[in-house]
């Protein structure tokens, strides 16, 4: 028998998105869309499983057994990795914790779903291009064209700030301070704000790019645009990086051996700052890591730092050895987010 909840399932889900995620938590559009896709997928799967329309779903229809079957479906039929499964489950956990707080009648079902554990996944090894590859990439871009000046400014900005892709495309011109001390205001995960210093070379490249666009430094416009003059997207950013990497591969074939994405620049920034002697907590603030443990992971991939540590610990005189929905309201509403 369906759960006798005091609030309809559709109302709970809409309130979760409108009030909890947007108004209270202030999540980014990227996070909002990820949550939307997870919940929409669960609703459609549950409707198929119970042979009803989504509008007929009650909370009991999407209890623990259905959620577990949905997670298995993601891995076995959709071919999703455990990491993707865990991301979908995190969104589902958030929704069910919210529903339990909003409607005590739903507490039993919600508690069982929230108790579903994440799958253990092996830690991914962080890889990043060496400093020489970054420098080579920047020097191979033809700066005699407007697009070339934009791209070198964009890639230099990525390397200077270590900004995430979404943070980069979200930057607007007023967030950049060109006078000393030059800096940029970035908004990271959870809309957390941080200030990141800019190198003189970066500000000069940005000035040249904006001069091409004939944009005053006081104008409130996106910092980076695509070739059509529209705000750059994460997908456009990835395309630019891939295009420039492919062009640089002709003169440095080893670039083809490493998968370099916009996020690779973030890894390179962290590692190269540490190699330059910047204190770990400063790097954490620079990148906007919530925990210093995240920043500490970069030490693990720096073999040069490991070798130096081993050499420092050797005794004196010892040589170094380096070892389908009938009521369109909810689904249509979710898709419009």
Taking phi first (over 0 means left), then psi (-120 to 50 degrees means alpha), and beta for anything else, what does residue 129 get? beta
Residues designated catalytic: 164, 189, 263, 266, 289, 298
Three-class SS of residue 74? helix
Q: What residue has token string 């980069």?
A: 168
Q: DSSP string covering 285-318, please?
A: HHHT-SSHHHHHHHHHT-HHHHHHHHHHHSPTTP
Q: What residue has token string 């070198």?
A: 152
Three-class SS of residue 218? coil
Three-class SS of residue 324? coil
User: Dihedrals φ, ψ of 79, to 5°?
Assistant: 75, 20
Total residue count of the chain as it appears in this document: 337
Directed axis angle between helix 234-249 and helix 262-275, to 10°? 70
**How far apart (Å, rounded) are the C-alpha atoms in residues 295 and 192?**
17
User: Is residue 162 a contact partner of residue 266, using CB atoms and an 8 Å limit?
Assistant: yes
């Amino acid at each position: 028998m369906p759960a006798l909840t005091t609030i309809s399932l559709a109302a709970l889900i809409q309130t979760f998105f409108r009030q909890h995620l947007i108004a209270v938590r202030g999540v980014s559009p990227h996070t909002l869309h990820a949550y939307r896709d997870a919940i929409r997928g669960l609703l459609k799967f549950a409707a198929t499983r119970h042979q009803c329309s989504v509008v007929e779903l009650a909370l009991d229809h999407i209890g623990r057994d259905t959620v577990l079957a949905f997670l298995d479906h993601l891995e076995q039929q959709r071919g999703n990795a455990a990491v993707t499964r865990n991301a979908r489950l995190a969104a589902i956990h958030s929704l069910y914790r919210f529903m339990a707080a909003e409607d005590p009648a739903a507490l039993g079902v919600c508690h069982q779903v929230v108790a579903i554990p994440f799958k253990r996944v092996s830690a991914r090894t962080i890889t990043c291009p060496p400093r020489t590859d970054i420098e080579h990439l920047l020097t191979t871009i033809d700066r005699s064209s407007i697009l070339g000046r934009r791209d070198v400014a964009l890639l230099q900005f990525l390397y200077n700030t270590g900004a995430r892709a979404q943070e980069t495309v979200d930057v607007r011109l007023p967030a950049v301070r060109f006078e000393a001390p030059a800096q940029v205001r970035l908004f990271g995960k959870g809309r957390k704000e941080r200030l990141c210093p800019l190198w003189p070379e970066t500000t000069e490249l940005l000035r040249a790019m904006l001069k091409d666009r004939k944009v005053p430094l006081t104008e409130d416009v996106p910092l980076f645009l695509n070739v059509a003059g529209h705000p750059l997207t994460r997908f456009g950013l990835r395309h630019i990086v891939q295009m420039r990497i492919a062009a640089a591969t002709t003169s440095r074939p080893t670039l083809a051996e490493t998968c370099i994405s916009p996020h690779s620049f973030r890894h390179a920034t962290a590692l190269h700052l540490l190699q330059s002697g910047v204190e770990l907590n400063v790097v954490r603030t620079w990148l906007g890591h919530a925990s210093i443990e995240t920043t500490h992971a970069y030490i693990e991939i720096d073999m040069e730092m490991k070798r130096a540590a081993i050499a420092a610990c050797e005794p004196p005189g010892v040589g170094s050895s380096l070892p389908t929905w009938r009521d369109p309201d909810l689904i249509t509403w979710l898709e419009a987010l």
